[in-house]
Chains A and B, each alone.
Chain A
Amino acid sequence: MKVPWPLYLAWKQLFPSQKKISFFSMLAVVGVALGVNVMIVVIAFMQGFQEKFRSDIIDAQGHARVLPLNPSSRTKDLKSTLSAHPEVVGCSPYIQGQLLLQNREYTSIPHSIGVDPVTSSEVLPFNAFLEKGHSVIDAFDSEDVTPVPTMDSLEDKVVFISLEVANRLGVRPAAILRKIDHNKTQRTGRKVGTVRVQRLDPFVSSAEWNIEFLGPSQVLIQEKLSSFKQVYDLTGRLIDLGFGKPVFELIEGDHSFAKGDTFHFQCFRASTLEVYSPSMIEKAKSDEMSPPHEVKVGGIIEVPWQGFHSEVLFGSLRFMEDIKNQPNVRDGYYLKFSDNTAGDDKKLGNLCEELEEKGGDDWAIIPWFVENAWFFELLKFEEYLMVLIMIPIGLVAAFAIAIALMTSVLRKIKEIGLLIAIGGNQFSVGLIFCLQGFIIGSLGAILGCGFAILFIKYRDTLMSFIVEKIAGKEGQAGVAQFYDFYSLEVFYPWESTESMMTFLSFAAFAILVSTIAGLLPAWRAARLNPADALRSE
């Protein structure tokens, strides 16, 4: 293939024969590459934040919310109508409001939501929220074996609260520790059998449990504080002593449990909260004092998105109905659609409109992206602002290229004259310099995209290094929590169209700007009088 000679000479001037790369070319290409890398990485991270918020919002609110438009419509049951649609894969009602919580002299007024323990998990991943909120007690000679609470334990007298509420009130859910038998661990090199806690009821009392094997199928269970004592015949792996007591599970080791094997547990009861509704407080003003509702803390829940509510309480629907004294009232429904609809915002919007018509005029069905449009517009604005701030990076690289190429024109003025003397036309000679800008831009764009992919791949390592250098080891946790870089899903270009567009846009921008940077030197070279060029000193 014959390469056009302006392209050939442009390439040779950047990458001379017998030299892998000229110093100018290397600086120019690396300069463009770094600019492209920075632009792509920043925007990729911004998109990662958007994606994270999108996923958090859908997790916390479902794909859409059904909202009553007038008080009478709050008592209508729309669930059967909505669930009948084939694209609706989950529909769960909720009641919300503000409640006053009290523990001794500490109070909190969290955003409180009553959900249906059975259907809510179809729409919102509550068990995952509970797992996120679950923390482990760090004890010296014991091991925290508290099982992660699940939605199964959400009874009418149990609530899940956010960590902020728990800290404000000084409360915690039930916990259980297993004392470590150091001697036993050292004695046996093989995997030993153990007893774990399969379920910890929110209504368990503080207690010290002892499980002693009397034989392979019989255990003696004792509780020191209440003097509870029972010989339990093992029929399976579980030891279920009934309501208010932990459910233990036997985990076999390399050999069966033997007589004398003993396990000690220390159980701590869940805190109790006093809950007041606004109507109860109103009554109290007129001296009609009604006793507060007492509920147990069933678990700590970490919901990724509650608008700006950091203090949140989740209870059962019945609990909220009771405390608000509004039976059969629904404040709305969480909806979840099939992946086919959920993945396409336009489809989702149309489906919401269709369902809205079915539900009559009393209800509105708001997709997640409409309800939170302000927030995403804000994020988009930030993204555009970042682009605007970063454009000068590209322009600085372009100016550097333009200056270097202009210097090159002056340095090669006699060669320009010669090229015309041996049969080159002035336009093609000018093109050499324009193409140099194009080549630098293209190589810089490719290298910059490569750097960006590496940065995205090793972002955790790099961010840890940078954050540790700036904030130190102590500050690292805080920075990570605030910016949440580590859980950020940043897409590679082959994984998402948006990411591909980001890569292509900035690569095209770099190529365009670099080529334009070569235009002025090219114009200068093309305008040179060959005789003057040959005559120049």
Chain B
Amino acid sequence: MRYEVNNSTEQFSLRAKSLKKSFAFGDSKLEVLRSVSLSLKKAESLSIQGDSGCGKSTLLNLLARLEQGDDGEIFWGNKKMEAARKQDAKQIAQRGTYIGVIYQAYYLIPELTVFQNVILPARLNGSLNPQKQERVINLLKKMGVEQKANQIPPKLSGGERQRVAIARALINSPKVILADEPTGNLDEKTGGEVMDLLLQTCEEEKASLLLVTHNPKFAEATNRAAVLRDGELNQIA
């Protein structure tokens, strides 16, 4: 079943219409996304599976407006977002508060402590205040790494690092979490724990989750699941 966008806008935190993206390799052109449309309700979770190189990460980058698509429209809530190249300062700042990102390789800043890493999006956003500092502590507690607040990332295990990355993604209370294979670097058991924590926290925070994963078990744990194949997104559950 082809994944279709819902035309009613009010209840959606993220929508994409007919996204197209291709990459040029010399004279040839690789069409990664042919016409991808999706919608994500508030506090809803959606998983996307697909073969390696099928365009899952590209789709996430397009949705976060980190990358320029060839065609299509993206809405964050009701607001249509400009193409990556046309973004103004306000839109860039909005990315920090509306979207939270989680990557497979964590991308924690090694020179900062766990606490400093988690509060970094608030610092970038200019909303560094005592409430945010308290929220960092609460998130770290929720993630079970509050004891590591003053540690630096190189001293943490993979699972701990990903928990910190989740806390960081949630610090600005984003409406949407884009998670790109968050358990890809973790063993089955740790990955499961991290995934449970992610789903649970997103639910508590009422954040929508778009999860890219290779693991069918994790895909099943989301509200809906879809597969990206041949540049098109098909809903499977």
A188 within 8 A of B: no
Give which listed residue, A5, A12, A422, A531, contacts B111 with CB less than 8 A. A12
Which one of B94-102, B132-140, B200-208 is at the interface?
Answer: B94-102
Q: Is the CB of A17 within 8 A of B116?
A: yes
CA distance A2 to B84 in the complex (A): 29
Closest-CB distance, A373 to chain B (whole angstroms): 57
- Complex Cα–Cα for A281 and B120 (A): 95
Which residues of B have CB within 8 Å of A422?
95-96, 100-101, 120-121, 124, 168
Q: Are B95 and A17 in contact (CB under 8 A)?
A: no
Residue contact A423 to B107, C-beta cutoff 8 Å: no
If A18-B152, A423-B92 touch, does A12 touch B112 (CB 8 Å cutoff)?
yes
With A16-B152, A535-B57 known as contacts, the answer to whether A421 contacts B109 (CB < 8 A) is: no
CA distance A423 to B89 in the complex (A): 9
Q: How far is the CA of A5 from the CA of B152 in the complex (A)?
A: 19
The answer to whether A423 and B121 touch (CB under 8 A), given A529-B67, A531-B61, A534-B103, is: yes
Chain B's nearest CB lies how many Å from the CB of A527? 12
- What's the Cα separation between A108 and B146 when bound, in Å? 92
Q: Is B81 an interface residue (CB 8 A)?
A: no
Nearest CB of A to B90, in Å: 11
The residues of B that contact A5 with a CB separation of less than 8 Å are: 120, 123-124
**Complex: A534 Cα to B101 Cα, angstroms:** 12
Most chain B CB atoms below 10 A, which of A5, A9, A418, A422 = A422
Q: Which residues of B contact A477 (CB under 8 A)?
A: none
B114-150 at interface with A (beta carbon < 8 Å) = 116, 120-121, 123-126, 128, 150
Chain B contacts for A425, CB-based, 8 A: 89, 92
Question: What is the size category of the interface that chain A forms with chain B?
Answer: 20 to 34
Q: Which residues of A (398-440) have their CB < 8 Å from a CB of B?
A: 414-415, 417-425
**In this complex, which of A420, A421, A424 has the most chain B Cβ atoms within 10 angstroms of its Cβ?**
A421
Please report the C-alpha to C-alpha distance between residue A420 and residue B124 in the assembled complex, in whole angstroms. Answer: 10
CB-nearest residue of chain B to A13:
B111
A8 to B117, CA, bound (A): 12
Q: How far is the CB of B36 from chain A (nearest CB, A)?
A: 16
A-contacting residues, B59-96, CB 8 Å: 61, 64, 66-67, 84, 89, 92-93, 95-96
Q: Which residues of A contact B128 (CB under 8 A)?
A: 2
Across the interface, do B67 and A17 meet the contact criterion of CB distance under 8 Å?
A: no
* Closest residue on chain B to residue A423 by CB atoms: B96
A530 proximal to B (CB < 8 A): yes
Query: A17 to B92, Cβ gap below 8 A?
Result: no
Q: For the complex, count residues of B whose C-beta is within 8 A of A.
A: 36
Shortest beta-carbon distance from B237 to chain A in Å: 29
At the interface, yes or no: B192 with Cβ under 8 Å from chain A?
no
Q: Which residue of A lies closest to B113 (CB)?
A: A17
User: Across the interface, do B66 and A530 meet the contact criterion of CB distance under 8 Å?
Assistant: yes
Closest chain-B Cβ to A66's Cβ sits at a distance in Å of: 71
* Nearest CB in chain A: distance from B228 CB, A: 16
Could you tell me the distance between the alpha carbons of A19 and B153 in the complex, rounded to whole angstroms? Answer: 13
Q: Is the CB of B113 within 8 A of A421?
A: no
- Contact across chains for B112 and A17 when beta carbons are under 8 A apart: yes
Query: Are B124 and A418 neighbours in the complex by a CB distance under 8 Å?
Result: no
- Asked whether B216 is an interface residue with its Cβ less than 8 Å from the other chain, the reply is no
The interface bits of chain A over 165-191 (1 if a CB of B lies within 8 angstroms of the residue's CB, else 0) are 000000000000000000000000000
Bound Cα distance A506, B117 (Å)? 37
Q: How far is the CA of A110 from the CA of B120 in the complex (A)?
A: 81
Task: Compute how far the CA of A420 lies from the CA of B58 in the bound complex, rounded to whole angstroms.
Answer: 16
Alpha-carbon gap, A17 to B113, bound state (A): 6
Task: A534 to B66: give the CA distance in the assembly, Å.
Answer: 10
Which residue in A16, A423, A534, A535 is a CB contact (below 8 Å) of B95? A423
- Which residues from chain A contact B152 at a C-beta distance below 8 Å? 16-18
B197 at the binding interface (Cβ < 8 Å):
no
Nearest chain B CB to A77 CB, angstrom units: 81
10 of the cross-chain contacts (CB-CB < 8 Å) are A12-B112, A16-B112, A17-B111, A417-B107, A418-B103, A418-B107, A421-B95, A422-B96, A424-B96, A534-B107
What are the nearest 10 A-B pairs in CB distance? A423-B96, A16-B111, A531-B67, A418-B107, A531-B61, A422-B121, A530-B66, A423-B124, A12-B111, A17-B113
A residues adjacent to B (C-beta < 8 A): 2, 5, 8-9, 12-13, 16-19, 414-415, 417-425, 529-531, 534-535
Given A13-B111, A422-B95, 11 further pairs, Cβ under 8 A: A12-B109, A16-B110, A17-B116, A18-B113, A18-B152, A421-B101, A422-B100, A424-B124, A425-B89, A530-B66, A531-B84
